[in-house]
Structure 1
């Protein structure tokens, strides 16, 4: 890799429209980010004061492994990239070589540094072959400096192969640092967690997400709706903030019981409308993914990337679309459940008034059906079939 060209500096807007020094949605998920390095490498990560304080302190005397635990969209991956950049830039900083340090940080942000490897699952989880590849990679010497960083993503899904990686994570070669990312601290990861410094990332509240969007120039009212629909995922919120139909979809779900008339024909028509709206909702995400692929192609020419990068990104994109659709449906189901609970409250009437027990039981059953559908979405069911069953169970108001 000694023949790599020195990366040229780019000014202004990053590919895909990220503002100078600002965030793109993938700062909290994928690798599509601005290549401009902020004065504070952790500046773009919001709502994680405690976690970032731990990582800053760790830079003084780094250890062999860190486990960053928190929900999707909480900033773990962006923090991991920034942390890796500081580790890889440390020697240049000590030598006073500002340009070299800036290059290390920039390449780490782009996940294009030769001494940074980001491992993403290609199937349902990290498999045995990937685990063996991680071990081999850890054993190879760094290419440019004294350190090498391996970021292992979605490690909460790696329980089956975790024992294969335990020894390497516990006692890696000198200079190798593991940064492991997980949504939750699963029981089968307890042993590996005990060998790592655990850094917890808190779920982002709607207020924090909305404030971050407003800081990036999003209208306050739009930011509020997008934040409510994002489930604490800043990346998802940024995509939703570009969707002019978000408020209309929210109103559609809230008013759904009034649209039902007890007939299968109406249910089929409503589900068709919903799925069409869901396809439209995914469009901004697909556009950002296309921009990321264009950016990846440019970086392949400019920096050179490891074999399989395109395949890995394609696999991640498919997972992102599935998760976006699932989260969009969960958001709508939450609004529907709220409407049904409001109807149930009205059925109760004032204190001492008679209650329509039959209608109350029907609404309780409908709320239960909504919750069961939300759980079923985790199993990647047939969306149309699940939604048709749900709307038949909910039935009309009145």
Structure 2
């Protein structure tokens, strides 16, 4: 069995080189391509595969599992809200002491924007720094897994590429975790602008409500872009420079 992770990130040339293998399997090998989405460039390959769509785990199921793990209901609910349907991520976030402050940091962005480039760049740097710091909880988990592998090697005398395989796996996981954290922050931004739109009244200027609608679309577009190999710093700076301020 061959599992190809993050298939959506492969360059067109790499996908093309796999096409013949997928079209003419040897009858014994099963290939599983894991992809966050299916862009038009993957249509040919998809037509040769059996497609299985997996939905995120519901917040209710995550809360139940966390409570079963011994987490109190209130904390489990808060974590499930930002875990985006990922139980493994939820279990990491449980031990993240900065989760609440990071969530608040993203929620306060619209009220801090003032239309200047300097402020947008400043806030973008704060957001990226906060997310980078959040990786510590995940790195601790990975260090424990690596230590466990080293102990097993010493005890059983195992040899081979076990360490490299695990290290490569950790790199993919860390990248995915960081992307998930950034997208979680963007979901919080979407929520803030959506709430502002709901609270709009007839007295609210038409151009202001329109700016909230455009903001939600821009944030969602940025979230989609994060699935690709983009420059996160430039992405967030450009996004924040385009978003309106919300005066509470």
TM class, shorter-chain normalised?
Answer: 0.7 to 0.9
1:167 aligns with 2:25: yes
**What aligned pairs does 1:99-114 form with structure 2 within 5 A after superposition?**
none
Distance 2:52 2:190 in 1: 35
* Matched residue, 1:152: 3
Unaligned ranges ≥5, structure 1: 1-149
1:335 aligns with 2:188: yes
Alpha-carbon shift at residue 372 of structure 1 (Å): 1.9
Distance 1:372 1:200 in 2: 22
* Matched residue, 1:212: 65
Alpha-carbon shift at residue 300 of structure 1 (Å): 2.3
CA deviations on 1:203-240 (whole Å, 9 max, x unpaired) are: 31111111111111122222112212111111111111
Alpha-carbon shift at residue 192 of structure 1 (Å): 5.0
**DSSP 3-state at the match of 2:115:** coil
TM-score (norm 2): 0.82
Distance 2:222 2:56 in 1: 24
* Matched residue, 1:287: 140
Distance 2:55 2:193 in 1: 30
- List structure 1 segments (4+ residues) > 6 angstroms apart after TM superposition: none
1:302 aligns with 2:155: yes
Distance 1:365 1:202 in 2: 27
Distance 2:196 2:213 in 1: 10
Residue-pair matches, total: 235
CA deviations on 1:186-208 (whole Å, 9 max, x unpaired) are: 75255454xxxx98755311111
Residues 178 and 308 from structure 1, CA distance in 2 versus in 1: closer, same or farther, beyond 3 angstroms?
A: same
**What aligned pairs does 1:345-360 form with structure 2 within 5 A after superposition?**
345-347=198-200, 349=201, 353-360=202-209
Instruction: Compute the RMSD of aligned alpha carbons.
Output: 2.8
Distance 1:390 1:201 in 2: 30
> Which fold has the larger relative contact order, with Cα–Cα distance below 8 Å and residues 6 or more apart in sequence?
2
The structure whose Rg is larger is 1
Distance 1:380 1:305 in 2: 36
The structure with the greater share of residues assigned to helix is 2
